[in-house]
Amino acid sequence: MSKKHVQLSWQNDTVPVSNKFEDYYYSLENGLHEANYVFIDGNSLQKRLSHGFQIAELGFGTGLNFLATCAAWNKASKAGKFNFVSFEGYPISNSDLRKAHLLFPELSEYAEMLQTRWDEIIEGNLVDFGYANLKVFVGDVSKTLKVFNSKVDCWFLDGFAPNKNPEMWEDNILQMVALKTKPGGSFSTYTAVGHVRRTLEKVGFEVTRKKGFSKKRHMIHGIKISDD
Ligand SMILES: C[S@@+](CC[C@H](N)C(=O)[O-])C[C@H]1O[C@@H](n2cnc3c(N)ncnc32)[C@H](O)[C@@H]1O
């Protein structure tokens, strides 16, 4: 494995676990169901997705949330193209990417393209999937978010758990997230931990708590109130 890729372990030989952050990339129960519940439904994407819609994500990982969005787009037979940008500091290797995707055969038509173009993607190149443009900003989020000069319709906040990966949930990161959100834009995340919820409120989101995925008590989602 190349040195530039992060080292993983595997739970049940199927779900990737970060050695660096000692956390799972997604639910052990069903990562795709979780992505659909937390991020697709959490941002009401089935009804909001349209040509030119701009999604941004903190933590690309295996790309599962991107693949779930591709599936939602195609299921809804939307015309045109959506834009997806993600911020990732520690890209996984192509072989780990392929191994992670094996658990989701229903996503294979989207996953294949991601696997084939992975080297370009983690070089930071924009890749055109036909129905989506994907660009991953590679590097520490505290630096890469600063060079992203756009406002988006929707955020997927998907760092590892806040107690294991506090860098992804710091006030200044969530402040930049808010600044780079259109008025009326949204976010969702699987965590409802108090300091994250309060910071998201402080930086300008109207935050709602709802039942979390599976055994999780709560998750949060929110809408950017105005642009002041
Ligand atoms: C929970 S995983 C994301 C799972 C991913 N969305 C998926 O669909 O597989 C969190 C991700 O955040 C990344 N990350 C953690 N700290 C970071 C930082 N400071 N800057 C950029 N990325 C970071 C990790 O490398 C990891 O890929």
Atom of ligand 1 nearest to the CA of 57: 6
Q: Is residue 30 part of a domain?
A: yes
Q: Is residue 80 part of a domain?
A: yes
Centre of ligand 1 to C-alpha 140, Å, is 10
CA nearest ligand 1 atom 15, residue: 159
Centre of ligand 1 to C-alpha 61, Å, is 5
Residues 30-42 pLDDT 10s: 999 999 999 999 9
Residue 3 has pLDDT above 70, yes or no: no
Centre of ligand 1 to C-alpha 150, Å, is 21
Q: Is residue 164 part of a domain?
A: yes
CATH no. for residue 127?
A: 3.40.50.150
What pLDDT is recorded for position 72?
A: 96
Q: Is residue 1 part of a domain?
A: no
Q: Is residue 18 part of a domain?
A: yes
Which residue bears the tokens 């290797």? Answer: 93
Pocket of ligand 1 (CB under 6 A): 25-26, 59-65, 87-90, 140-141, 158-160, 165, 167-168
CA nearest ligand 1 atom 11, residue: 59
Q: How many domains does the chain have?
A: 1
State the residue range of the domain holding 167: 8-224
What pLDDT is recorded for position 228?
A: 61
Q: Is residue 26 part of a domain?
A: yes
Atom of ligand 1 nearest to the CA of 160: 1
- Residue 1's pLDDT band (cuts 50, 70, 90): very low
CA distances from 97 to 37, 103, 169, 170 (A): 22, 11, 25, 28
Q: Is residue 177 part of a domain?
A: yes
Residues 113-163 pLDDT 10s: 999 999 999 999 999 999 999 999 999 999 999 999 999 999 999 999 999
Residue 2 has pLDDT above 50, yes or no: no
Q: Is residue 2 part of a domain?
A: no
Centre of ligand 1 to C-alpha 46, Å, is 24
Centre of ligand 1 to C-alpha 159, Å, is 5
Atom of ligand 1 nearest to the CA of 21: 15
Centre of ligand 1 to C-alpha 215, Å, is 22
